[in-house]
Amino acid sequence: MATRKLTPELLRKIVLEEKNKMLREAAAVGSDPVASGKEHAEDLTVPEVDADGYADTLANEINHMKALKIHEQRLTAKLREIQEAKKRLRERVAKKIG
């Protein structure tokens, strides 16, 4: 795969393409109040969602954080073991050399 140099013109072209893509997606969804002809936020109709759905999501995220913390502790312990093994090996090599 050939690499191309990122010139200011190429970067500008990429950014404009992404901007147009985002604007098309926003227009398709109808999330832009100005594009939909509404001038005030009060004029928009937004579907209501029960809070219990968000509560489950929040609980899941908290549980995920707890699981990540446990995983981090295990990895930290494993790293400590590896560092100690490296230290012992380094001392053993230094003793044999010197």
Report the alpha-carbon distance of residue 51 to residue 33 in Å, rounded: 25
**What SS3 state is found at 7?**
coil
**pLDDT value of position 57:** 80
Report the alpha-carbon distance of residue 53 to residue 39 in Å, rounded: 30
Report the alpha-carbon distance of residue 32 to residue 83 in Å, rounded: 54
Q: What is the mean pLDDT of residues 76-90?
A: 97
pTM over 0.85: no
User: Is the confidence at residue 81, as pLDDT, over 90?
Assistant: yes
Angle, alpha carbons 19-5-20 (nearest 5°): 10
Q: What is the mean pLDDT of residues 15-21?
A: 90
Q: Give 19-76 pLDDT, tens digit per residue.
A: 888 888 776 665 555 656 666 666 667 777 777 767 778 888 899 999 999 999 999 9
**pLDDT value of position 67:** 93
Taken in order 45, 48, 49, 51, is the CA torsion positive or negative?
Answer: positive
**pLDDT value of position 4:** 80
**pLDDT value of position 93:** 95
Domain parsing of the chain, residue ranges? 8-97
